[in-house]
A and B are shown apart, each in its own frame.
Chain A
């Protein structure tokens, strides 16, 4: 089924009678993209499900105030990214029993994750990615896996293109080093 354009979804939303349809099309269009974006940040499927639900609920509540200064997908990605980072912070705060940082726990959980189908090299790559700081991790995933242009990333992460390029190259270098040494 072809997806509605962002403009069409927004015009459906503006009309009270077709608001439910707008929600349906919004979810249909963006659920998969946002799911994979969140999944690469929070790693576990169950956590991703929680964050994705919160993201859409937040989007729905805030859609009335969406000023269309940025594109809809940029706004959605920004909310999804912020929700994921907030979730990780809460998880780290809640987990007082472990002395290890949250990234280490995520890395460990990958090994037992039934929803992870990667082979040994893919597992190693994911572990390498998890050694990066949060922001670098997001930049690397968006560029390497999603092949997002720097300009779009800049709008989503509200960071300059130059800083993003530097961040990606530092991340790639660190991953290479990790893969060589491990």
Chain B
């Protein structure tokens, strides 16, 4: 059969078992627009005849778009169209989800396991388990916004005053620690001084009693002596030692006098007379 003899409109020419609703389909206006399309193509080829190079190059689109671009554009346009009647909603910028942290998925499993562990731990305490875990404390909205500045002011204000050398020295001298140390040292010094002055033993000479002290020695320590009454003073006197010392002093005096007389000659006496 010659191709020209093949009439598509003639049902008898169709293969048996085929009807209009074949498994192949075409766009609705394919045949009506085909002629037009063909004409345009011929026209453009006629135009390009003068430019053989352009005619030889295949007309391929060298540019590409991201995957799903057109699907996304369609969605965006749809949502913009939907929102166009709500002016306020349209003015709000939608939140673009940020990319997940690199190790998010890696940690997700352990995070879930930990949550399960916490829940299991609490399950044995029925009442605690039934209560919603929420923070009942509140804080003013602006508190955290201003806190950093507040702390910085406080830290750098303190730092500024300490930069002066004079202030540092004064701080050191009148600082709590220095004052405390100075106070303790003063108290210790005074305590040692008074202890020594009250407990200072009297030099009591050879006889080992107060009776052997010289008059001046006793006067120098009159504060101590004044603490004794007469009876105590008498008790302190070792009579034997006192006698002995007095006798020894007497003997020394006599022997000294004797010694002096021995050294005087008869002529000296006569001269004196």
Interface residues of A (CB under 8 A from B): 20, 23-24, 27-28, 31-32, 35-36, 39-40, 45, 49, 52-53, 56-57, 60, 115-119, 121-123, 125-126, 144-145, 147, 149, 172-173, 175-176, 179-180
The interface size bin for chain B is 20 to 34
Question: Cα distance A178–B127 when bound, in Å?
Answer: 10
Pairwise interchain contact B138-A115, C-beta atoms closer than 8 A:
yes
Residue B62 is within 8 A (CB to CB) of chain A in the complex: no
0 or 1 for each of B110-135: is its CB under 8 Å from A? (1 = yes): 00001100100010011110010111
0 or 1 for each of B196-232: is its CB under 8 Å from A? (1 = yes): 0000000000000000000000000000000000000
Pairwise interchain contact B152-A23, C-beta atoms closer than 8 A:
yes
Which residues of B lie under 8 Å from residue A27 when comparing CB positions?
Answer: 147-148, 151-152
Pairwise interchain contact B125-A117, C-beta atoms closer than 8 A:
no
Pairwise interchain contact B152-A53, C-beta atoms closer than 8 A:
no
> Interface SS of chain A: helix, strand, loop or mixed?
helix
**Minimum CB–CB distance for B74 against chain A, Å:** 33
Which residues of B lie under 8 Å from residue A147 when comparing CB positions?
Answer: 114-115, 118
Pairwise interchain contact A172-B152, C-beta atoms closer than 8 A:
no
Q: Which of A28, A40, A172, A180 is close to B137, meaning CB atoms less than 8 Å apart?
A: A40
Question: Cα distance A123–B137 when bound, in Å?
Answer: 10
Pairwise interchain contact B144-A126, C-beta atoms closer than 8 A:
no
Which residues of B lie under 8 Å from residue A36 when comparing CB positions?
Answer: 135, 137
Pairwise interchain contact B127-A57, C-beta atoms closer than 8 A:
no
Which residues of B lie under 8 Å from residue A176 when comparing CB positions?
Answer: 125-128
Pairwise interchain contact B147-A31, C-beta atoms closer than 8 A:
yes
Q: Which of B122, B127, B140, B154 is close to A53, meaning CB atoms less than 8 Å apart?
A: B154
Which residues of B lie under 8 Å from residue A35 when comparing CB positions?
Answer: 139, 144
Pairwise interchain contact B136-A126, C-beta atoms closer than 8 A:
yes
Contact A23:B136 (CB < 8 A) given known A31-B144, A32-B144, A125-B131: no
